[in-house]
Structure 1
Amino acid sequence: MMKNILFISPTGTLDNGAEISIFEFQKKLVAMGYQVVNVTQASGDKVYIEAFEKAGIKNIMLNAVKWWWEEAPGPVKGTKRELYHYYREHLSQIQQIVKEEKIDIIITNSVNMFQGALVAKILGIPHFWIIHEFPEGEFVYYLDKLDFINEFSTEIFAVQGQLQKKLQKLLPERKIHGFYPFTKIKDIKLLHGDRPRIISVGRLTERKNQIELLEAYYKLNRPELELVLIGNFDKEYKQKVLNYIKEKSLKNVTLAGPQDNPWSLATDKDIFVSPSKMETFGLVYIEALLHGIPCIVSNNPGHVSAQEIFDYGIFYEVGNIDQLAKKISESLEKLDVIKKESMAILPELHQKFSVEHAYKEISDLLTENYKKEYYPIRHLEKLLTVNDNDPERIMAKLKHVIKKILIKVRFIR
């Protein structure tokens, strides 16, 4: 008998690898006969809503002042009292969804949310925790929560490679299973290029580290070589990029901005460079490989993890600008050779990169028959899920509706 699965998703948008990848897995599960329900924060994102409607997957969006752990990245759009009021409401609503949809298992698709884990424990059903994030930088906060994650997970899955190894060391008493993010690659033919270019795809941010690429580009001293930066941007970091371009009088740098399909701008003469300081998994790097584009990438853990699976690409030490400039120069000199190599490995790469391979361990464990458990925390169910608004009182109802509207307005802002 196929199970009913509830996914707790992190953003309610399809602009990040965790959401894009799990959506492909959800569609695969539906095709296999599973019943899938998705719960996320009320983002108002039409693309996200329409994608789930088209896929025939029930998608429920909940209002929140913050959907993630309080200590996680991102602002709290309300008071502390409102924050915990909505946390309790989330637990109550998710619990109701589990009962109404006859959910057999809950899967949380990010380390940043706890609600699904808590509800699963209260109701005694299995909970799978899928972790994409390294416990470093903005996500270092969750090192302190590993005891909760360990206790409130039936199974834990981490991105295959460096993250999986790290979490296995941190939680040696249990097996950390692996997966890797998957995205459906549009089969497009690259544009014909009349000259070599450097391209980089990704949001302009401190973490993506495009300034380092600009510094290496400046060192090359090849003004005829075009550098194209494709992607959306953080305003402050974009200004840093523009200031550097102006300061160094770089005349052949193009900021192409956000694109529905960034690879539609790529040509058969391009070299892809990713100077990112940190990635959980080098998904954009893999996309470049799957388009037959030669790649130079930083040695951050996410890129290394991807390379361990796909075994192709040129690496440089993040922060070593001279080394990056040298790698670019060498690649330009032998572009015809590395282009032929990148095209030759395409069939093998496409075989390795599939939703079946990416989520095999999760798929296998979904067939297990986990017994219903009874945990002591069930005795605190009402304390954790009941708020102070009496649903029978008209004023309480009105106050509750007004609060929801206010939270939604704050979120939209």
Structure 2
Amino acid sequence: MTRILFVSPSGTFDNGAEISIYHLMKLLKDNGHVVYNVAPASFPNFEEDYRAHFKEIDVPVTFIPRNKWWWEEAPGLKYGTAGERAVAYRDNISALRQLIKEKEIQVVITNTVNMFQGAVAAACEEVSHFWLIHEFPENEFAYYLDKLDFVAENSDALFAVQGELQKKLQTLLPSKKTIGSFVPFTEVTTKSLKSGKQQRIVSIGRLTPGKNQLELLQAYTRLKEPRPELVFIGAWDDDYKRKVDRFVKEQRLSTVTFTGKKTDPWGEVTERDLCVLPSEMETFGLVYAEALLKGVPVILSDNPGHRSAFDYFGGGELYSSGDVAELTVRIEKSLRDFPLLHQEAASFATVAFEKYQPQRVYQELLEALAVEQLPQKKALRHLAEVLTLNEEKSRLTRTEKRMRQFVNRGSAWLKRRFNND
């Protein structure tokens, strides 16, 4: 039995990192480990929902107020001045150190490369620290390439999403002889797809530039008429949705619809639907995994994350990302051969389900936690008090007040946005 503290990235269930590691925590509890979770404080309704999910698996959640939870250079909003954020970072590390001592934690697991507080707290308390990396060091996450020396020096074990990301990080971190791997997990209900009256093309996921739905629309305009209905299932970023709407209007595409945010996206999919996922970048591709598990024929772009998932499962069809002509041909062929594809997808769902079990996808992590933890002493321990001692509580208090005012102003706006989505 190991006493484990997870440091989570968002305190919400709107991202793959949180969803997949929730299932890891459940598995660890089932295997007899003691698990705690720490997440950044946010809005009361988000915290209530998040805490309720973890209550179901008996994992206590502690929310820690912060000015910025991720690295200073990482994506996301910043509150206060640079000095005030530095004070808040130290306060966060101090709170984590206190939890490590109170709960007698043996292993701290940071569930994204975007945070450093857990690594610092573990070093100060001389306990093991594991790092789980979900993100490719590209685009908005390219900043962390400059942090990899810190990551290497302050992790007793390092795990990355299996496939292309693991290979890339192994090249970038030669000092780490072995980078472990895991496959992000998401739970899919066994509920059957509903019957459909007509053939459709569906695409599940938030409308964003990264999800690249415009590429699917471009291919859709090349299909022979009459075209099947094209349905986008999910919420959207307003700027990108305006671009999509403009394209639909200019091309006079009357058979394109948007459902908005759905609690159960697969409840919108029928047994006559073809799923197309044109993302420019994914870490793994949880929606692709869900499509296979639901027995839905799927076409997906060959971005590194999708390739990793495809190599793991082997189902569906890849096309070259950015090649609209190839995507068009694959859609036309899939629609033409749909009865056979549907039959093959339904049969493959059993194979995918057998491969995609928590015990299997997190095997390397489970093996690492099964052995006695003998952490290496990190040089950061010499700065333990410097890194956590705060004399400027009054300044932090003023910052917290301003942050709370910001949160209160933004709460109503967020509620409106989520209701619209």
Shorter-chain TM-score: which interval? over 0.9
Contact 2:153/2:378 (<8 A) preserved: no
Q: Does 1:266 align with 2:269?
A: yes
> What residue in structure 1 maps to residue 168 of structure 2?
166
> What residue in structure 1 maps to residue 35 of structure 2?
36
Cα distance in 1 for partners of 2:155, 2:84 equals: 27
> What residue in structure 2 maps to residue 354 of structure 1?
357
> What residue in structure 2 maps to residue 104 of structure 1?
106
Alignment of 1:268-283 (within 5 A): 268-283=271-286
Deviation of 1:307 after TM superposition, in Å, equals 0.7
> What residue in structure 2 maps to residue 252 of structure 1?
255
2:78 aligns with one of 64, 76, 79 = 76
TM-score (norm 2): 0.94
Q: Deviations over 1:332-382 (max 9, x none)?
A: 010011111111112111000011111110010001212254433222111
Alignment of 1:8-407 (within 5 A): 8-44=7-43, 45=46, 46-173=48-175, 174-389=177-392, 396=394, 400-407=396-403
Cα distance in 2 for partners of 1:160, 1:203 equals: 24
Gaps of 5+ in 2: 411-421
Contact 1:63/1:408 (<8 A) preserved: no
Contact 2:7/2:108 (<8 A) preserved: yes
Q: Classify the secondary structure of the residue corresponding to 2:217.
A: helix
Higher mean C-alpha displacement, 349-358 vs 214-223? 214-223
Cα distance in 2 for partners of 1:410, 1:223 equals: 50
Contact 2:297/2:316 (<8 A) preserved: yes
Gaps of 5+ in 1: 391-395
Cα distance in 1 for partners of 2:4, 2:123 equals: 15
> What residue in structure 2 maps to residue 410 of structure 1?
406
Deviation of 1:276 after TM superposition, in Å, equals 0.2
Q: Classify the secondary structure of the residue corresponding to 1:6.
A: strand
> What residue in structure 2 maps to residue 393 of structure 1?
none
TM-score (norm 1): 0.95
Cα distance in 1 for partners of 2:378, 2:142 equals: 29
Q: Deviations over 1:26-71 (max 9, x none)?
A: 1111122111110111123132121122322110111112100011
Deviation of 1:302 after TM superposition, in Å, equals 0.7
Contact 1:223/1:251 (<8 A) preserved: no
Higher mean C-alpha displacement, 202-211 vs 26-35? 26-35
Q: Classify the secondary structure of the residue corresponding to 1:157.
A: strand
Deviation of 1:13 after TM superposition, in Å, equals 0.3
In 2 relative to 1, CA 222–192 (structure 1 residues): closer, same or farther, beyond 3 Å? same
Cα distance in 1 for partners of 2:93, 2:180 equals: 27
Of all paired residues, the percent bearing the same amino acid is 44
Q: Which amino acid aligns with 1:62?
A: I
Cα distance in 1 for partners of 2:166, 2:380 equals: 29
* Aligned-CA RMSD value: 1.3
Contact 2:40/2:66 (<8 A) preserved: yes
Q: Which amino acid aligns with 1:197?
A: R
Cα distance in 2 for partners of 1:273, 1:376 equals: 49
Cα distance in 2 for partners of 1:153, 1:372 equals: 9
Q: Which amino acid aligns with 2:249?
A: K
Contact 2:93/2:388 (<8 A) preserved: yes
Deviation of 1:224 after TM superposition, in Å, equals 4.0
Cα distance in 2 for partners of 1:92, 1:274 equals: 43
Q: Classify the secondary structure of the residue corresponding to 1:345.
A: helix
Deviation of 1:76 after TM superposition, in Å, equals 1.0
In 2 relative to 1, CA 206–163 (structure 1 residues): closer, same or farther, beyond 3 Å? same
Deviation of 1:110 after TM superposition, in Å, equals 0.4
Deviation of 1:194 after TM superposition, in Å, equals 1.9
Deviation of 1:400 after TM superposition, in Å, equals 4.6
Q: Classify the secondary structure of the residue corresponding to 1:228.
A: strand
